[in-house]
Amino acid sequence: MCQNISRSCKNLFFKVALVIVVSPIVYVYFEPTVNWLKSLNYPSVPKHDVCGDICINALKTPNQIQIAASSQGGDLDTILLIWMWPFGQQFDLGLCSSMYDIHGCHLTVDKSQFNKAHGILFHHRDINGDLSNMPKLPRPPFQKWVWMNMESPSNSRQRSNLNNLFNLTMTYRQDSDIMVPYGRISENTGGKKHDEIPHKNKLVCWIVSNWNSDFKRSKYYEELKEHISIETYGNHSNGRISNQDYSDVVSSCKFYLSFENSIHKDYITEKLYKPLSLGTVPVVLGPPRKNYEEFIPGSAFIHVDDFNSSKELAEHLKLLDQNDDLYRQFFTWKEHFVASASIFGPDQACHACDHIRRNKNYRVVNDLNSWYWG
């Protein structure tokens, strides 16, 4: 009997040992399915990896982004809220992509979008002195307030309550956060044929409505007209002219007086760019020639500072009138470049939105007054 028991013990031991040896082999070749594991309430994990806290958080990130996007209505565009129409002039809010090739921007004047807006655009001349027409709600921490001013310091009222209020500046100046000039000379990449010089039946023209006898331009004009004939238009002389009349008049003149109402660095307005685009040589009065040549070819214009007196300038213009070859040299730049004037409103709004979309860094304008008027 003891022998039989010993034999049974030996058989049991052999069977147990066999199970221990064979089980791993069976598991490798016949791995249990996930469903079977789930029925035993075991977690489903990768075969060779263990997902810790860092891994779990990483897996959650895409879902969190998706939830955040859906909470904003699915609109991933950068939203720029125009708080007041500049000078009350309304414009098409959908021009950014078609006119400037700026995408991912959404312009709005709907003030109920305040809390969602990534940026708010404020026009200096339309801000009340007591700030009563500024937002009353707390500003979201991500939101940028953009101070827009296209007027020179001489034509802008300084206010002490604008410091530490804005995040970005947008003006015609090169040292602005967002520089939007009054016009551009850009490379002719579209293959547009160089336009012929329009027919000229006038020598010198000037269109002026904002007349002030104390302005430098007014004093220079009074001197210049004593030496050469000048056709004048605008409220000060023959009355305001329409946009079409403007183009017809300016293109018919050999020279146009592109005189700025005040002298400041970079303050070079449409008074320069429009004549250039219409095939007329501008005679400029503004910042020094060097400043102009940062924006346009030096051979495209005449600067009053190039002459010792208004009489000397007049004599030079008369010489160019008599020498067609010399006159045509002012248009050689048009073989490779085109001139265009900015469109007030859309230019500023679209470029402000694009800047905010591309730049996420924090900034605050601590002393706006010293920077702009100082």
Instruction: Quote the DSSP letter at residue 83.
Output: S
Residue percentage of the chain with pLDDT more than 70: 79
The residue assigned the tokens 């709004």 is: 349
Q: Spell out the residues 6+ positions from residue 213 whose beta carbon is closer than 8 angstroms to its own.
A: 219
Buried-exposed string 247-284: b where 16+ CB fall within 10 A, e elsewhere: eebbbbbbbbbbbbbbebebbbbebbbbbbbbbbbbbb
Q: Check: CB of residue 310 under 8 Å from CB of residue 292.
A: no
* CA 80 from centre of chain: 12
- Residue 19: exposed, middle, or buried by beta-carbon count in 10 A (0-12, 13-18, 19+)? exposed
**Structural domain boundaries in the chain:** 78-180+346-373, 190-341
Mean pLDDT of 323-349: 97
Residue percentage of the chain with pLDDT more than 90: 73
Q: Tell me the per-residue pLDDT of 213-263, one tens digit each, with 9 for 90 and over.
A: 999 999 999 999 999 999 999 887 777 888 889 999 999 999 999 999 999
Q: Tell me the per-residue pLDDT of 140-187, one tens digit each, with 9 for 90 and over.
A: 999 999 999 999 999 999 998 999 999 999 999 999 999 999 999 999
169 token code pair: 């500046």
231 is catalytic: no
- Residue-level pLDDT at 91: 97
Q: Is the pLDDT of residue 48 over 70?
A: no
The residue assigned the tokens 């001197």 is: 223
Q: Which of 31, 151, 260, 312 is catalytic?
A: 151
Mean pLDDT of 324-332: 97
Q: Spell out the residues 6+ positions from residue 332 whose beta carbon is closer than 8 angstroms to its own.
A: 299
Q: Decide the pairing of beta strands 183-187 and 337-341.
A: antiparallel
Q: Spell out the residues 6+ positions from residue 246 whose beta carbon is closer than 8 angstroms to its own.
A: 207, 274
Query: Could you confirm whether domain 190-341 is CATH 3.40.50.11660?
Result: yes
- Quick one: pLDDT band at residue 355, thresholds 50, 70, 90? very high
- 356 vs 7, 121, 131, 176, CA distance in Å? 87, 11, 24, 14
C-alpha angle 357/67/119, rounded to 5°? 25
- Residue-level pLDDT at 182: 98
- 53 vs 27, 42, 46, 57, 122, CA distance in Å? 29, 18, 15, 6, 46
Q: Spell out the residues 6+ positions from residue 116 whose beta carbon is closer than 8 angstroms to its own.
A: 72, 75, 79
AA letter at 51 = C
